Structure 1
């Protein structure tokens, strides 16, 4: 048999790189994570010193086993080829519930039990059962509150951002940012309409959507996205793709947003002019676009800034915060991003920080570049937000020239 790697090298192709140890481990995460999410709470709540009657222990174990098997199956049917919305709702809800239960089983299983032991409260079995009821009660409370937080219309977060190169004529420019609406299996058409009403009340000059409109194709989620066509802005409504568009026929979303009156800034820019001053508003495709295989899609900042006067201030839309390295290298003044959801369910934000330079809020990068990361307007997957509230963001751009003259 011929050596295929030698043949590829002879043909001028790059030989395949063997997977690293980390990549090999990551392959097992889909198997390990569900096992941990369900087995750890099962042990903490049922077997860590509680000595429950046998029927209770067996019934509880059966419920955890059902969750362990049912959650992955529901998610595969919901998010796999079949795309069954009801299965997705079940799987996503179980995932969110399991994450919260796992988190507080670990924390209370250690901290509360230690506190009770130090305080001399009860014997070992009493303390173990107190931990069980505390974990179950807190989990129920957080899931109820988290569901309300996920489904409500986001509060408006207001902040002023000074851009040193912004001319006085553009001082006070009102920019509204929405992102990560994630229209999906749970029908949120009414929620979408109310979000758009809230945006319109802010009387924005520029409204931006930085991607992840939905989970599903434009044809499938059209009714939920339709209210975006009612959004009003005095100057422009602009949009860039997120990574989830590339799971769901991204070009269909670009076309739909264009029909709804939004300008897709696909490696392009437009100019906002007022009082003799100019602001460049640029946008790039998501960084995952290049690997999507979709012709003409890819994040190209140089293309987005082609023909731009280098002395002008630039506002950049890029879905993922980690694009900030490229933005800072080009001297961008302000990048607006989403993607992180602020972690969505605490303490997931610690894992998000392994992949992104910012989880939420305003941060400084390089000599002059600012990054604002939104916690997102909707939610992905599990219909819960725990200690990571959604937001609609109003940024008022300020010019140092205006503040000096006043």
Structure 2
């Protein structure tokens, strides 16, 4: 369905792999669509990849053409565009420090003043993207709160829970996801988000 719309790139901001009995096949399925996206499929880990065996999932992805970003930046081949990705900070007592450390690693080799997109699972990484003048930060994790009314999250327990955020000249987006922690959504349908990028 997504490939049929012919976008240039597919980005996945984590929590794709959550069933140890299906994760290997899930990686293979994702790889089958690599040719459908001229600028590639780009992936950053979420907390559920860590819950379900991050080392094993990394091995599955290593056999694919998926561009996995772990606290690093890479240039999109043939484009004046850089992709960055940060891992999910699993050290809860030191979450903010670990998050910022991951961001510092990601920008270490990033040239100055280049168009760039940050992939991160936790929405607070939108702040990190804006602090480093990243044009667009794509996140998830919140499920959009899974419950909403009149298009607004009913339980906005996160700093950024759903949709578009603008901080200075930077944008962030919190994707509502396609699955659910509880098997029920109300006023918060699953989504596929499309972005059209233009030169400033």
Q: Distance in 1 between matches of 2:177 and 2:164?
A: 14
Partner of residue 323, structure 1: 125
- What are the ranges of 5 or more consecutive residues in structure 2 without an aligned counterpart? none
Say whether the 8 Å CA contact 2:23–2:57 is kept in structure 1. no
* 2:19 aligned partner: 216
Q: CA deviation at 1:332?
A: 1.4
Match of 2:171 among 367, 370, 373: 370
Q: Distance in 2 between matches of 1:221 and 1:278?
A: 33
1:287 and 1:323 in contact (8 A); partners too: no
2:188 matched to which residue of 1?
A: 388
> Which structure would you say has the larger RCO, counting Cα contacts within 8 Å and 6 or more residues apart?
1
Deviation at 1:331, TM superposition (A): 1.6
Q: Is the 8 A contact 1:286 1:318 kept in 2?
A: yes
Shift of 1:285: 0.2
Instruction: Structure 1: state its 5+ residue gaps.
Output: 1-197, 401-406
Superposition pairs for residues 126-165 of structure 1, below 5 Å? Answer: none
SS of alignment partner, residue 378 of structure 1: coil
Pairing 1:220-369 to 2, within 5 Å after superposition:
220-231=22-33, 232-272=36-76, 274=78, 278-288=80-90, 290=91, 300-346=102-148, 349-351=153-155, 353-354=156-157, 356-365=158-167, 367-369=168-170
Q: Deviations over 1:175-201 (max 9, x none)?
A: xxxxxxxxxxxxxxxxxxxxxxx1211
Out of 8, 13, 24, which is 1:205 matched to? 8
Deviations 1:350-381 (A, max 9, x none): 43x23x2222221112x22210111112223x
Deviation of the 1:220 alpha carbon: 4.6
Distance in structure 1 (CA, Å) of the matches to 2:37 and 2:85: 18
- Provide the secondary structure at the position in 2 that maps to 1:363: strand
SS at match of 2:24: helix
In 1, are the aligned partners of 2:9 and 2:40 still within 8 Å (CA)? yes
Compute the displacement of 1:273 (Å). 5.5
Task: Give the structure with the higher percent helix.
Answer: 1
TM-score between the two structures when normalised by the length of structure 1: 0.43
Q: Give the total of aligned pairs.
A: 191
**Residues 220 and 203 of structure 1, relative CA distance in 2, 3 Å threshold:** closer
Give the conservation status (yes or no) of the 8 Å contact 2:13–2:140: yes
- Deviation for aligned residue 1:222: 2.8
